[in-house]
Amino acid sequence: MRQVTADGENIAAGQSTVSKAMASWLASPGHCANLMNPMFTEVGAAYATATNADYGVYWTMLFGAP
């Protein structure tokens, strides 16, 4: 297993599209810092929906640097 030298995470809930989730992350200083951090060279993103949950749509983005 590779060692990770840096990692970060963005999560969001309730945005109906990826564009809206990205817009909310870009508007948040901490989340935007993760998106713009040149140290991160790897990223994974996903979303889940749950009609019986409070926000309905949940987004996550994980950042890493080997």
CATH code of 6-65, in short, is: 3.40.33.10
In this prediction, residues 38-51 reach a mean pLDDT of 96
Q: Which two tokens stand for residue 11?
A: 């999560």
DSSP assignment string, 3-63: --SEEEEEEEES-SSHHHHHHHHHHSHHHHHHHH-TT--EEEEEEEE-TTSSSSEEEEEEE
- Residue 44: pLDDT band with limits 50, 70, 90: very high
Say how far apart CA 3 and CA 5 lie, in whole Å: 6
Stated pTM of the model: 0.87
